């Protein structure tokens, strides 16, 4: 499925080929901090299936729980998270597109929940998802 997306201010735009069955909810504490919410919804694609069409994201590199560095790409003007990926030259890399930045992304239904052990206890169960305690 071909999608387009953009940051809130429109400075950064992108397009990607995604599998609409692949969105997932991430409850890890990093996603909670970086999104400012109780979880984040992402859809992973290969690097070859993702293209920035305008602008240049700002990159913040954080360390995951495993110790691996992860690039967090966001708009340097409005702060919208765009994607995350590994911080190495491995190819092909996986790009975790932030579903909120996808045009019409609200219609993508997550099928998996990862890092469920960190999920906010007050969240309801999401119907149709498989929960995994870690990743």
What does the pLDDT look like over 96-107, one tens digit per residue?
Answer: 999 999 999 999
Handedness of CA 117, 94, 86, 61 (dihedral sign): negative
Q: Which residue(s) pair with 13 in the sheet?
A: 6, 54
The Cα diameter of the chain in Å comes to: 39
State the average pLDDT over residues 25-40.
93
What percentage of residues in the chain have a pLDDT greater than 70?
A: 99
State how beta strands 94-98 and 81-86 pair.
antiparallel
Other Cβ atoms less than 10 A from the Cβ of 10: the count is: 13
pLDDT at 86: 85
Residue 70 CA, distance from chain mean position: 12
pLDDT of 90 above 90: no
Q: What is the CB-side half-sphere exposure of residue 64 using CA atoms within 13 A? A: 14
Q: Are 100 and 5 in contact (CB under 8 A)?
A: no
CA distance linking residue 30 with residue 33, whole number of Å: 5
């Amino acid at each position: 499925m071909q999608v387009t997306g953009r940051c809130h201010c429109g400075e950064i735009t992108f397009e990607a080929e995604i599998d609409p069955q692949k969105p997932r909810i991430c409850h890890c504490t990093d996603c909670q901090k970086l999104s400012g919410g109780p979880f984040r919804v992402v859809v992973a694609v290969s690097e070859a299936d993702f293209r920035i069409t305008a602008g240049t994201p700002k990159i913040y590199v954080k360390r995951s729980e495993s110790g691996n560095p992860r690039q967090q790409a966001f708009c340097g003007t409005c702060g919208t998270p765009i994607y995350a990926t590994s911080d190495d030259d491995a190819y092909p890399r996986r790009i975790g597109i932030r579903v909120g930045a996808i045009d019409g992304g609200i219609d993508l239904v997550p099928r998996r929940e990862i890092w469920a052990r960190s999920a906010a206890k007050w969240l309801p169960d999401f119907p149709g998802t498989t929960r995994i305690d870690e990743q």
